[in-house]
Amino acid sequence: MKNWLRKDISVAIMFLVPSGVGFAMFYLIPFIMGVIYSFMDNTIDGHFVGLDNYRELLASNSFRKAAYNTFYFTAVSVPLMLLLSLGLAILLNKSTYLRKWLRTAYVLPLVVPVASIILIWQMLFDWNGSLNAWLGSFGYARVDWMKTDAARIVVIVVYLWKNMGYNVILFLAGLQQIPKDYYETAQIEGAGRLRQFGNITLVYLTSTMFFVVIMSIINSFKVFRETYLIAGDYPHDSIYMMQHYMNNMFMSMDIQKLTAAATLMFGCILLIVLGMFALERRHRQFME
Lowest mean pLDDT among 93-107, 133-147, 212-226: 93-107
Per-residue pLDDT, averaged over 75-87, amounts to 90
Dist CA 196 CA 114 (whole Å): 38
Task: Identify the CATH number of the domain in which residue 197 sits.
Answer: 1.10.3720.10
Q: What percent of the chain has pLDDT over 90?
A: 3
CB contact at 8 A, 110 and 165: yes
What was the pLDDT predicted at 2? 59
Distance CA 12, CA 42 (A): 41
**100 in a structural domain:** yes
The confidence score (pLDDT) of residue 96 equals 58
Share above pLDDT 70 across residues of the chain, in percent, rounded to a whole number: 92
Distance CA 219, CA 279 (A): 20
pLDDT of residue 202: 81
Higher pLDDT, 104 or 223: 223
User: Does the pLDDT value for residue 276 go beyond 70?
Assistant: yes
Say if residue 283's pLDDT is above 80.
Answer: no
The answer as to whether 6 is a domain residue is no
Residue 97's pLDDT is what? 62
User: What DSSP letter does each residue of 100-152 carry, written as one string?
Assistant: HHHHHHHHHHHHS-HHHHHHHHHHHHSTTSHHHHHHHHTTPPP--GGGSTTHH
Report helix, strand or coil for 265. Answer: helix
pLDDT band for position 287 (cuts 50, 70, 90): low
Please tell me the predicted confidence (pLDDT) of residue 3.
Answer: 60
> Would the CA dihedral through 260, 263, 265, 267 be positive or negative?
negative
Residue 239 has pLDDT above 70, yes or no: yes
How many domains, in total, are found in the chain?
Answer: 1
Query: What are the beta bridge partners of residue 216?
Result: none
Residue 60: band (very low, low, confident or very high) from pLDDT cuts 50, 70, 90: confident
167 vs 232: CA distance, rounded Å: 28
Q: Is residue 159 included in any domain, yes or no?
A: yes
Per-residue model confidence (pLDDT) at position 95: 62
In a domain, 10, yes or no: no
**pLDDT confidence band for 143 (50 / 70 / 90):** confident
pLDDT of residue 118: 75
Among the ranges given (29-43, 188-202, 252-266, 267-281), the one the predictor scored with the smallest mean pLDDT: 188-202
Task: Identify the pLDDT of residue 80.
Answer: 92
Residue 132 pLDDT grade (very low, low, confident, very high; cuts 50, 70, 90): confident
Could you tell me which residues come within 8 angstroms of residue 78 by beta carbon, excluding any fewer than 6 positions away? 213, 216, 217, 220
Quick one: pLDDT band at residue 1, thresholds 50, 70, 90? low
Closest CA to 125 of 105, 99, 144: 144
Q: What is the mean pLDDT of residues 196-223?
A: 83
> Residue 221: in which H helix or E strand, if any?
none
In a domain, 86, yes or no: yes
Predicted pLDDT at 98? 61
User: How much is the pLDDT for 79?
Assistant: 92
Mean pLDDT of 32-61: 84
The per-residue pLDDT of the chain, averaged, comes to 81
> Domain range spanning residue 246?
62-287
> Would residue 35 count as lying in a domain?
no
pLDDT band at 5 (very low <50, low <70, confident <90, very high): low
